[in-house]
Chain A
């Protein structure tokens, strides 16, 4: 599993356990009925709002700098042109050097497609959408040599699932 996916899985598992625990407490509390100070709890909404805003700001500033936009390819980068059409990719050149940045220039000639790169063991690497009439640039450095698969990750019609290609990363 991709390392970011592992992070998501662990984080989501933790918050799920906490969330289910909260609801179990809530369910259990209805067995020991009693008065609650509704006015006080309503006022504490403000405190909950502040906690929430704080948490969201932490998540925002903890992740926004990892947004995969606008990474420019340094001089001397490899350039790979990718043309997507129903239901095939044309990848030129089909060989990439490991350890050196590569700029994929993605184009679609008909409908929207997705450019999803996986390792030979089906581990997700990266993806971007490919919109007709536009060029999308994606920069990535492959550290591991080997054969990489490309899957279309935007539904594009009858043989969408069969729209598969590959390229090779060499040392």
Chain B
């Protein structure tokens, strides 16, 4: 049994990687099925379609993308010298099992018991099933999501415990001071948050930021889920508008649970491939100060079109627009730093670095479509249209996803001591995913601009043409992922390199 240290980080990362890859395979298949059904290829029953949509959303977003980058975070930290200590590693394992149990519960309640409340399970919809599922199913679903939420909290605790550890080289022994030091405050206030002899690695900052934010973001949702479980058996209820706000209080930061660890991976790997340090100064630390505050205060941009009379919601929403705009600053400054780190460098091009480079392209383009969503006057047109679906698939699959693929191709050999099965297959996978995925999102974006609604098992006839046009793209995208699964599986089961065997 490994209690802590680099070996614990290695094992944690590998387990998260394998589990999240299995979840990708399953949730990807579900996504493929519902996209084909919309194009009238293998039409699914309505509740089946919506149940698959629910499972696909939670599975791909939390079970794959979030779980995947959460896993790589352990290895990035260990590679920076921040190895998990005993408590941190224990939190890492607790996270793993809570997440696996939570995802399993979501799979069972959706695929076997027909829960189809969508992955945002907008209260009180889980209790208005139109006869498709019972309150007990809602209770088990809510409990399963609660487990996944607790997994996020335990991961955050483990990450915070690790980043304030001895590798921080902070002068202060005060844990609060050490935490703020770990998220880059020393770049702005070097005396108060002093480190000796080295400054905080840039790659450390996004991990501490998201860890504290996700604790703040998840606990109210956990409360809502507990109430939903109780409501399945007793006569209690929640104000629907309050519930909506609580959901998005979590629902926005969880997007950055995917993005910020991915940024840490960019900060860590891009300089290695460019063979020069990250081109960054103190300003980027200021951006992360903005991020740690704004990330938990911009939830309402997801409900810009909720402005009922007699509530303060419209005032909250208007305040959210400039706050949301401010959140583009960490992304824009990161892209600046990463771009100039690559600029005229002796950049090593392989499957992993290509994935990261293409991920940066997608980060910019998906970020720009996100600015549209963040602008109330524009959101009034694209809200709940397929534009939103195009935007978040662009961000989740082609920014975060490509980071996960790149990190897998980069880290898997050192995690397993085995060479990557096929660099060629990896390159094909990356390029096919990038082009097919981008085209796939572009179709959704165009459909959304035309007014096509999201979350429709059967699209209105006027919007069906492009859904049909997407079929070949979706097939290519799915086939490309088979290359990834093969590469991971055959690397895991392949022969060890001589060097590793000698040191094992």
Residues in chain A within 8 A of chain B (CB atoms): 1-2, 4-6, 8-9, 12, 15-16, 19-20, 22-23, 26-27, 29-30, 32-36, 38, 41-43, 45-46, 48-49, 52-53, 56, 59-60, 63-64, 66-70, 86-87, 110-112, 114, 116, 118, 121-124, 126-129, 131-137, 151, 153-161
Contacts and interface: CB of A to CB of B under 8 A. Distances in A.
Interface string B312-325: 00100110011001
A46 B144 CA distance: 45
A127 B380 contact: yes
B231 interface: no
Contacts of A27: 357
A159 B376 CA distance: 29
Given A19-B364, A49-B333, A86-B128, A12 B372 contact: yes
B108 interface: no
A157 B332 contact: no
B377 to A, nearest CB: 4
A85 to B, nearest CB: 10
6 contacts: A4-B381, A20-B361, A64-B318, A111-B240, A129-B306, A133-B241
Q: Which 3 A-B pairs have the closest CB atoms?
A: A134-B308, A124-B451, A42-B281
Nearest to B339: A26
B371 A33 contact: no
B384 A12 contact: no
Contacts of B357: 23, 27
Interface in B270-299: 276-277, 279-281, 283-284, 286-287
Contacts of A34: 344
Given A4-B378, A19-B365, A128-B307, A151 B339 contact: no
B311 A134 contact: yes
Contacts of A53: 329
Contacts of A160: 50, 455-457
Most A CB contacts (10 A, CB to CB) among B116, B239, B284, B325 go to B325
Contacts of B368: 12, 15-16, 19
Interface string B321-341: 110011011001100110110
Contacts of B240: 111-112, 131-134
B422 interface: no
B383 interface: yes
Contacts of B128: 86, 110-111, 156-157
Given A30-B342, A41-B340, A48 B332 contact: yes
Contacts of B361: 19-20, 23
Contacts of A133: 239-241
B26 interface: no
B453 A23 contact: no
Contacts of B339: 22, 26
A60 B46 contact: no
B450 interface: yes
B375 interface: yes
B381 A124 contact: yes
A134 B308 CA distance: 6
B364 A46 contact: no
A38 B449 CA distance: 41
Given A5-B450, A38-B276, A45-B280, 18 more contacts: A4-B378, A16-B365, A19-B364, A26-B342, A26-B343, A32-B344, A45-B281, A45-B333, A45-B336, A49-B283, A49-B329, A63-B376, A114-B305, A127-B384, A129-B305, A158-B132, A160-B50, A161-B458
